Amino acid sequence: MGPTRWLLEHHRFLMHQCFSLPFAFVFYSLAKCGCLSLTNRYLCVCVGGCVLAVVTMGGYSGLLLVPAAAFPLLVRRVDHGHLHAWAFGLQMLWQTSWHLLLQYKEYCLQEPVCIRLFLAVSSLMLLTQRITSLSLDLQEKRVISTLNSSRPGAPAALLPLMAYLCSFTTLLGGPLCSYTYFVSQVEKMELEPPPNPLGIVLLKLTQVLALQCFRHFFLVLLKCNPFNPSDCTFIHGILWVWGLGVALRIQYYSHWKISECLNNSAGFGFDGGPTGEPSEFSDGDFRTVESSTRVSEFARRWNATTASWLRRLVYARCNRLPLYMTFAFSLWWHGLHVGHFVGFLTWAVAVHADHHIHRPLGTNGCATLRRVRACLGWINTQMVISCVVVAVEFRTLPVVRVLFSTSIGLAPLCNTVLLIILLTLSRVNW
């Protein structure tokens, strides 16, 4: 399958999100006018997610519904001091089994992967985020009061939990929010109704349209200038892979923006007070992320809520090599494809090198020197991230070989060599 055709097929994810927007607006309108009690609001969010799963994934919706139903049983049966270990182990075992099945179908049987199965596994990864995040909250005793609510008229304790896991606003895409934040958003809808989200949703949909037009422009350029590894110039190889990387990343930005629209249209994510501005309820903004001048800065901004989840789940809990352990877990979570190994290892090394390069530099130097340094850092970041995204997205070994046979493959190589030199010098000095 060619890169362009592969990219075009991913419009399905945006379509599924867009089809949920009318339902979200209906839910917002009914909740704001007081037609839905607190229990009914949780039911609508939960049932809406289950219906969306069945409609978009068919029989594969069981991949999500089984662990979503099993986790409340764990909450009831397992001591909260050990809950996270059980939840993490069972959820990752379930998710990894389906990832391996995908690889078996794709590589061993040479069968085309059903788009419904692919969508279900992608949504399962998001469910893993919510389950492990909530299990940590329970283990750290951050949400005991919300699960054991005894207020008059409060819904059963497990109903908010099921709504959080199966919410139609986050079933197919982020951003990840905490259980406490989700509960507060649902509970205050009648008492403190959010502002009319129509304006902000239309603005974000316009931004999605602009992103898709920008992506289409890159795809046209890629088609008009086909890539041939054996017959391309140094600059052509760099620009072609960079353009492909930008087109791939734009699809993520569009998906995240649609996810924000879906949450906002349901009345979620508005914490701006009387001004009615939405909160920082986003996985990433094109302008902010792409302007990063450091690889480590890009890593923090890219898929921001997932990056925060990884820091909490892995980085903050590892005593040895936390950076590499975090990227290793991200590799496991994404599915253990060959391209994932190469991409995440390249990213981890580049981030490690970035820390060693910029630590002694700090903010020293004149304004001109800082601008030159920022410009070179931005170019390096774009080249490294383009290599990472292409390797991770296309996953197969032949694509990885072609990628690193081009001139843009020199960027990760230079970062690796530079890291080895800096580590050697630091040991010598020590």
Q: Where in the sequence numbering do the catalytic residues fall?
A: 303, 334
Question: How far, in Å, CA of 410 to CA of 215, rounded?
Answer: 25
Question: How far, in Å, CA of 268 to CA of 262, rounded?
Answer: 9
Structure-block tokens of residue 366? 């004149």
The rounded Cα 40 to chain-centroid distance in angstroms is: 30
Q: Is 154 helix (H, G, I), strand (E, B) or coil?
A: coil
The rounded Cα 234 to chain-centroid distance in angstroms is: 33
Q: Which of 167, 207, 197, 183 shows the shortest CA–CA distance to 264?
A: 197
Q: Which of 29, 75, 42 shows the shortest CA–CA distance to 153?
A: 42
Q: Longest Cα pair distance anywhere in the chain, in angstroms?
A: 73
Q: Which of 86, 81, 91, 132 shows the shortest CA–CA distance to 314?
A: 132
Backbone angles phi, psi at 366, to 5 degrees: -75, 170
Assess contact for 280 and 202: CB atoms under 8 A: no
**Where do we find the tokens 């902000």?**
200
**Where do we find the tokens 């995240």?**
256
Strand partners, 256: none
DSSP 95: H
Output the CA torsion sign for 288, 291, 296, 302. positive
Structure-block tokens of residue 188? 């205050």
Question: How far, in Å, CA of 296 to CA of 283, rounded?
Answer: 16
Question: How far, in Å, CA of 294 to CA of 311, rounded?
Answer: 18
